[in-house]
Chain A
Amino acid sequence: MQRPTDQPIFLDHAASAPLEPRVAARMCECLRDPALQANPSSAHGPGRAAATIVAQARAQVAALIGAEPAAIVFTAGATESVNLAVLGTARAAPVGHRHVVTARTEHRAGLESCRELEREGYEITWLRPGSCGAVSPEQVGAALRPDTALVSLLHANNEIGVLQDIAAIAALCNERGVPLHADAAQSVGRIPVDVNALGVALLSFCAHKLGGPKGVGALYVRRRPRPALRPLVFGGGQEAGLRSGTLATHQLAGFGLACELAAQELPGEEPRVRALRERLWAGLEPAAPVWRNGAVEPSAPGILNVCFPGIEGESLLFALEGRLAAASGSACSSASAEPSYVLTAIGRSELAAQASLRLSLGRGTTAAEVDAAAVLLVAAVLRLRRAAPPTASERIA
């Protein structure tokens, strides 16, 4: 995919990856074909034609994570999948099981689902990760209780990319009969993910992080043993009663193809993107001091979260405006400049969190873009450091 020269260098794949042109073409085919406009749940011929597309997509999505097609529940995205996994499992747990284990560094979809459970009277254990950014299996093991209904953790952290040892955590959970949900929105399609090897009961992911369309995702629900799950959306009983609503044929066709393409390209893309990320990190050296947030490995290949001590985040983003698209370490569009809770949870100061950027690479990112991004960043950082009071780099860190 060629980037138009008037567009900023896009290093925000963790937020959303560009739509793969082949996926867009497939979706357009579906939208244009009069034979595919029926409701996939309808029993007539046009309905069955649409259902065939849905079935193909389900198989493609399932194949990417080594699952049976029947274990896939289509949703409107990873946020809904996470909500269904967390709320649905906790609410369906046996009487008296009202304890959930999660981490302070979860994506907001997981955090807010757990907060909702707290409001409903559930007890949540909020694990604090080490400075590497991951919680250890030992921490999870120590938090498990006889009344634990669910453990829910990110596979790859969306801000720092650090991978948690989901397989080891799942082994502990499975021994105790506790379902483990992994939010894998940042890992599926970027590293090999096999639900059987991981041993998870539930796994959330979505299309738009891997070149598919926004507005569609999936929840893997293990078949044997199947975790009890209560739906959040009620209606026509689609998706085995777990997610009612007419299936969006064109969205699912796009999701399916995106998964198939990701599976095909993964063996080459993962090491390529990982090497580009390290090239970018090396390119930032002239802006020293520069710190890396979170462990280098194990990690999702495309995420590099860096802190530039002495730099104010809003000014850095503004200096890069129109030339580089990246994510700030703070919600600094207001005076509150709320720092990233992930970065502060792993031990960074609020000022260091505000001086951080998440640079996320993906399919389509080129070496030339990475080099150009490093030049832009170094120039912006050095200029802002020159503008700051002389001891700013020591004080603001």
Chain B
Amino acid sequence: MEYSPLVRKLFATLPRCGELTAGPGTTVAGEAMALERGAWVRLEARLEGGRLVDCAFRAWGCPHTLGAAAIAAERLVGWRVGTPAPVNAHALAALLAAPAEKLGRLLVVEDAMQALLQGASGLQLPVSAH
């Protein structure tokens, strides 16, 4: 298996891997697991004023999966409720120069991200007036 320089760098440093740093705001999480595909990703973020101000990940999977989770965590910081997801599986695959057979695992990263964004959006939904 060949790995791109970015995969190598992300795997070596695992930025944003681990626990969220303490701070104000509400913690939201998104998780997706497809063990048969070889990936399990959990993203946690701190939501403050309708914006994600911090994000961390934990992941089980191949180097591409870990690299993709790191990119997703990085891109999620600054995301505002109501805006599109900052990245998707195809964009992650292109960034990481991942082979086509890894797309299934990167979709697990995307699923975890979508789950987190839905959770964050739900927290920010206005209370409906009856």
Contact = CB atoms under 8 A, between A and B. Distances in A.
Interface of A: 310, 312, 314-315, 318-319, 332-337, 351, 354, 383, 386-390, 392, 395-396
Interface in B82-103: 101-102
B20 interface: no
Contacts of A392: 40, 60
Contacts of A351: 35
Chain B interface category by residue count: 20 to 34
Interface stretch (B45-53, B61-69, B118-126): B61-69
Given A312-B38, A383-B14, A388-B59, 10 more contacts: A312-B60, A318-B62, A333-B1, A334-B101, A351-B35, A387-B58, A388-B40, A389-B58, A390-B58, A396-B60
B80 interface: no
Contacts, number: 64
A312 B62 contact: yes
Nearest to A337: B38
Contacts of B101: 334-336
Nearest to B104: A335
A314 B40 contact: no
B1 A387 contact: no
B61 A312 contact: yes
A395 B65 CA distance: 18
B38 A387 contact: no
Contacts of A388: 40, 58-60
Contacts of A387: 14, 17-18, 58-60, 66
Given A335-B102, A337-B38, A389 B1 contact: no
B77 to A, nearest CB: 19
A354 to B, nearest CB: 8
26 contacts: A310-B60, A312-B65, A314-B1, A314-B63, A315-B11, A315-B61, A315-B62, A315-B66, A318-B11, A318-B62, A335-B101, A335-B102, A336-B101, A337-B38, A351-B35, A386-B18, A387-B14, A387-B58, A387-B59, A387-B60, A388-B59, A388-B60, A389-B41, A392-B40, A392-B60, A396-B35
